[in-house]
Structure 1
Amino acid sequence: MKKFFILMVGLLLTSCASQSKTALISEIQKFQKDLNAEFTNPKKTPLRGDNFTKFTEHPFFPANLKYRVSAKLTKTENAVPFEIETSSGRTKPYQEYGKARFILDGQELTLTIYQSLGLMKQAGYEDYLFLLFRDATNEIETYGGGKYMDLKIPKGDTIILDFNKSYHPLCAYNAYDYSCPIVPAENFLPVRIEAGVMYEDVYHD
């Protein structure tokens, strides 16, 4: 445990040193701006009716680089495709890509990262990875069903998890038109992740 902790602290320091704090905060702000733009665009928004007309912008936790972690990624060998249950009761095909291990608030945590077998067949999504997780903010400041994060296959055996760029599944805003993968129990984190999109009932179904 001690050696792993030292390794992860070293990875985190190396990662943060490679980019200035200002640049990293700008990336988070761009994510927030793009997400708001998507929800205010009538051709892209998942919102319907009054939920759309009342929407102005998402509430976000303050950007905090504490929640941008460098994780040790162990790729899953001979991954077996499986069906993940969704909010509508249907299933979608995925496969496990690997395990991401990291340190947050002194705790060693692990999250499983997946690949969507449907997206893998589409041009431009060959290196797309999908992370879904729950944490202790769910049902309080964030959606009860958890949050998502989009990632890409890294070149090495480390991967950056920036929880500031985590977002709610579309079914959190429109359960009628969207069917969202349910977070597996193995990705329940016993900590508060005070980062990314917050939840506000006033413009949700």
Structure 2
Amino acid sequence: MKKLCLIVSLLLINISCSQEKKEVKGETEFQREINAEYKDASKSPLKEKDLKTFEGLDFFPVDDTYKVVASFKRTPDSPIFKMPTTTDRKPEYKRFGIATFTLNGKEFSLEVYQNQSLMKEEEYKDYLFLPFTDETNGFASYGGGRYIDLSIPEGNTIEIDFNKAYNPYCAYNDKYSCPIPPRVNFMATEVNAGVKAFDKH
């Protein structure tokens, strides 16, 4: 009997340990990082009710087709402008450059921006922002478009990995103020990569 109790106890300990050490879901480092962030109540944009049942975001299958090397033309003379958001907030941005590449047999040129406040912070001095929309919006992906984080390149090319496209926080919680992708950054193709639309409970 004592032996049986010991086995049951060990099983219960193993079960509780395995539950505590539940692995963060994700095929890639990007997927694991964003899932870990969204699971963390101190960082997550999710509403409390969604956070309780959250196990991981839904992603398109990772596809190297959507990892492109674009030619990059800097636009240093571009004026600073106020980017519209989902609220009255209008943060100041500047078009830093234009990325041109081919995807799904079509050529695209997307504007890449630099946030004028963020650039003053050491952590974000090289940060560039690529908001875009495509033909999956409102269907497989969030209707308001998606974002990609980039860094200032050294040369005249820049790598854009659409597998790292993520939703604005507004896709999860309407308390946030999110930049609206400019119309010029609409891609007339389906970008079946990155984070999919969020299924709210």
TM-score normalized by the length of structure 2:
0.85
Residue 199 (1) aligns with residue 197 (2):
yes
Match of 1:164 in 2: 163
Runs of 4+ in 1 over 4 A off after TM superposition: none
Match of 1:49 in 2: 48
Q: Which has the larger radius of gyration?
A: 2
1:18-51 per-residue CA deviation (whole Å, 9 max, x = no partner) reads xxxxxxxxx9700000000000001100112211
AA at the equivalent of 1:83: K
Counterpart secondary structure, 2:187: coil
**Rounded Cα–Cα distance in structure 2 between residues aligned with 1:48 and 1:106:** 39
Report matched runs for 1:24-43 at 5 Å: 29-43=28-42
1:74-111 per-residue CA deviation (whole Å, 9 max, x = no partner) reads 00031211100101132111000010000112211110
**Rounded Cα–Cα distance in structure 2 between residues aligned with 1:57 and 1:146:** 20
AA at the equivalent of 1:182: I
**Rounded Cα–Cα distance in structure 1 between residues aligned with 2:67 and 2:169:** 23
1:131-187 per-residue CA deviation (whole Å, 9 max, x = no partner) reads 0000000000110000000000011000000000010001111111x1000010000
Matched-pair contact (CA < 8 Å) for 2:119–2:125: yes
Quote the RMSD (CA, aligned, Å).
1.3
Match of 2:103 in 1: 104
AA at the equivalent of 1:195: A
Match of 1:71 in 2: 70
Unaligned runs of 5+ in 2: 1-25
Matched-pair contact (CA < 8 Å) for 2:172–2:200: no
**Rounded Cα–Cα distance in structure 1 between residues aligned with 2:82 and 2:196:** 28
Matched-pair contact (CA < 8 Å) for 1:72–1:100: yes
**Rounded Cα–Cα distance in structure 1 between residues aligned with 2:177 and 2:200:** 21
Query: Quick check: 128-137 or 192-201, which moved more?
Result: 192-201
Report matched runs for 1:46-195 at 5 Å: 46-176=45-175, 178-195=176-193
AA at the equivalent of 2:145: G
Sequence identity, in percent? 43
AA at the equivalent of 1:199: A
**Rounded Cα–Cα distance in structure 1 between residues aligned with 2:105 and 2:140:** 23
Counterpart secondary structure, 1:124: helix
Query: Quick check: 81-90 or 188-197, which moved more?
Result: 81-90
**Rounded Cα–Cα distance in structure 2 between residues aligned with 1:166 and 1:105:** 17
**Rounded Cα–Cα distance in structure 2 between residues aligned with 1:42 and 1:200:** 17
**Rounded Cα–Cα distance in structure 2 between residues aligned with 1:81 and 1:118:** 11
AA at the equivalent of 2:196: M
TM-score normalized by the length of structure 1:
0.83
**Rounded Cα–Cα distance in structure 2 between residues aligned with 1:200 and 1:35:** 14
Counterpart secondary structure, 2:135: coil
Unaligned runs of 5+ in 1: 1-26
